[in-house]
Structure 1
Amino acid sequence: MEWYLPVIWAGLIGTAVAIYVILDGFDLGIAILFPFTREEEDRDLMMNSVAPFWDGNETWLVLGGGGLWVAFPMAYAIIMPALYLPVLGMLLALVFRGVSFEFRWVSKPRHRKWDIAFAGGSIVAAFLQGIILGGLLQGIDVADGQFAGGPFDWLTPFSIFVGLSVVAGYALLGATWLIMRTTGPVRELGRRIAPWLLLAVMAAMAVISLWTPLIIDRIAERWFSVPNILLLWPIPLSAALLSYGVWRWIERGHNVLPFAGTIGLFLLGYAGLVISTMPYLVPPHLTFWDTAAAPASQIFFLVGTVFLLPLVLGYTAFVYWIFRGKIAPGEGYH
């Protein structure tokens, strides 16, 4: 087997997941912040700030999931039964969120139930994404190339904590997005709540960074053995320094820097997760190469991806460029 093909596909899937977390994270975060304001005009502005982007952002989730199925069918066949309930719940919550996004506008003035659905669906989706991440990190039981565990193995205190951490992280993305893209009371809401969310996210990152090596020996060895510890210490240090920078940028009233800094924190956390798990795709048993499809299949789909990926990147960048700038109360794209 060509050793480089699984590496290329792992890179593509990992990149798609990272882009999804950042792009869909801030619009999920907007909905998570819905309960912090009861003013209809403020909620309208919050939704309008993401209206041109939210459905396109989910393209990257499709690419990540589809890539896993195409390039690593064994991993897909193991991960799905192991995490079937949270994956199904996440997809249903995303559908519910999407339906409520559209129906809220056409049901005015009786749209309170759609406000609840929009916030609730987004909170559940974010929480279950964290549950899925926690379930993968703590490992999946595999025997003879098949899932050998129970239907609720993913439900542990660790995965629940990771789920809550993802909710806080998405809310921070949403708050800094409001600072960057809105004006008036909505922007002030973002400025007021972002520092508290930043504290919660940094605390969560610290707890997870300590919890994972305590319960998972392979992660402890990866981070704390010599010479790894000497090479990897800049990652947590960079996260600490960047979090302080985000705090200061929020205090000083910067528009773009808090959001950019929050993206940086997510990328540093993502890098830490990649370092902790590579080269395992189904921790702690199966690597990229163990679960890869036949080289001919990987090449066939890679050719199509090479042509389609620039189109997806192009129209994503185009939409964000067209709808750049701040949006004021009373304005909207919907």
Structure 2
Amino acid sequence: MDLTLVLAGVIVFGVGAYVILDGFDLGVGILFPLMPDEDTRDTAIACIAPIWDGNETWLILGGIVLFAAFPLAYAIALPAFYVPIMTLLFALIFRGVAFEFRVKAKATRHWWNRAFSVGSTVAAFSQGLLLGGLLEGVKIQGRQFAGGPFDWLTPFSIVVGVGVVGGYALLGATWLNLKTEGELQGFAKRAATRALLVSLLVLTVVSIYTPLKFPAIAERWFGGTHWLSLSPVPIATAVVAISLYREIRNQAHYAPFFYAIALFALGYIGIGISLWPHIVPPSLTVHAAAAPETSQRFVLVALAFSLPMVMIYTAYAYWVFRGKVKPGASYAH
């Protein structure tokens, strides 16, 4: 068994779980100031209150496995993306504080509403900057980062940041559509349509830009008969996007959320196809960044105990708090 590939798979799974699960509750925060009134905001908070902090467990899991199993990648990526990483962490802290304080605040609740929305939006945008910077590549000399502290800040990474904000808003809107009724559900359907258009626009820009700028990505997708074997990915993306739009228009409750997840999953697969086997493109591969085999075995033993526990309590939380959240529900109650 190739332990390096197993651990790389754990990181892929953990990051994917974080993007989906924390993505929709960040999306609720992004949409927060656009909601009709304070009652609908209280209901929206109640939709994510039992699960939002548990969703961030997957980010911690991915970071720990990266540090322990791929220390060279961690050592290069941290200085390369120090500013967006720290911005992301502070935004998540700011958002978490606002989440709790707005419940008790009366006179200053409007300020905590803004703080919750700003924290959610900045966290999503920072993740987009990270992704965009990673796609553009990191300067490496020897075994060290050789670039500047703002190499990640490019027009492309900003566009990707906007796309992640739009994508998370789509997940948040479809989650609210699944969990709520009445006025908030109507708002969620309208927001989902707009967020879908933003997400597809950015996805199209990224899909066109990356092969044009990076010959290795163009070769991966279009060299020889690759286009034929990989064509199911863009075709499935188009089918899912059309189905998602149709289900929103048909007033479906559950299908839009799962189509939104499928859309993210297909985008995630597309990024994986473009970058593999590099963990820090354009030159550091998964195997070159891996820790010694003894360290990998230690990490896998730890994961054998911790990963099932995380999966079980996550599934249990979603099962316990399944079903619709009624209008007027409040986290404070």
Residue in structure 2 matched with residue 86 of structure 1 by the alignment? 84
Q: How does 1:148-187 map to 2 (within 5 A)?
A: 148-187=146-185
Residue in structure 1 matched with residue 240 of structure 2 by the alignment? 242
Structure 1 segments of 4 or more deviating over 4 A? none
Distance 2:191 2:73 in 1: 39
TM-score of the superposition, structure 2-length normalised? Answer: 0.98
**CA displacement, residues 161-213 of structure 1 (integer Å, 9 cap, x when unaligned):** 00000000000000101110011111000111211211111111111100111
> Offset at 1:226?
1.3
Residue in structure 2 matched with residue 47 of structure 1 by the alignment? 45
Change in Cα spacing, 1:229 to 1:283, as seen in structure 2 (3 Å) is same
Structure 2 segments unaligned to the other structure (5+ residues) = none
Query: 2:262 aligned to 261, 264, 274, which one?
Result: 264
Q: Is residue 255 of structure 1 aligned with residue 243 of structure 2?
A: no
| SS at structure 1 position matched to 2:151 | coil
Q: Is residue 280 of structure 1 aligned with residue 275 of structure 2?
A: no
Q: Bigger CA drift: 238-247 or 192-201?
A: 192-201
Distance 2:285 2:217 in 1: 15
| SS at structure 2 position matched to 1:33 | helix
Q: How does 1:215-230 map to 2 (within 5 A)?
A: 215-230=213-228
Change in Cα spacing, 1:333 to 1:320, as seen in structure 2 (3 Å) is farther
Letter in 2 for 1:247: Y
Mapped contact 2:42–2:331 kept (Cα < 8 A): no
> Offset at 1:109?
4.2
**CA displacement, residues 215-272 of structure 1 (integer Å, 9 cap, x when unaligned):** 1111111111112111011101111111110111111111110000000000000000
Residue in structure 2 matched with residue 200 of structure 1 by the alignment? 198
Residue in structure 1 matched with residue 112 of structure 2 by the alignment? 114
- Percent identity, aligned pairs only, is 51
**CA displacement, residues 72-123 of structure 1 (integer Å, 9 cap, x when unaligned):** 0000000000000000000000000001000110112431110010000000
Q: Bigger CA drift: 108-117 or 156-165?
A: 108-117
Residue in structure 2 matched with residue 331 of structure 1 by the alignment? 329
| SS at structure 2 position matched to 1:185 | helix
> Offset at 1:333?
4.8
- Number of residue pairs the alignment of both structures matches: 332
TM-score of the superposition, structure 1-length normalised? Answer: 0.98
| SS at structure 2 position matched to 1:281 | strand
Residue in structure 2 matched with residue 299 of structure 1 by the alignment? 297
Residue in structure 2 matched with residue 104 of structure 1 by the alignment? 102
Query: 1:210 aligned to 203, 208, 213, which one?
Result: 208
Letter in 2 for 1:131: L
Query: 2:230 aligned to 229, 232, 235, which one?
Result: 232
| RMSD, aligned α-carbons | 1.0
Structure 1 segments unaligned to the other structure (5+ residues) = none
Distance 1:75 1:315 in 2: 30
Letter in 1 for 2:57: T
Mapped contact 2:45–2:331 kept (Cα < 8 A): no
> Offset at 1:37?
2.1
| SS at structure 1 position matched to 2:327 | coil
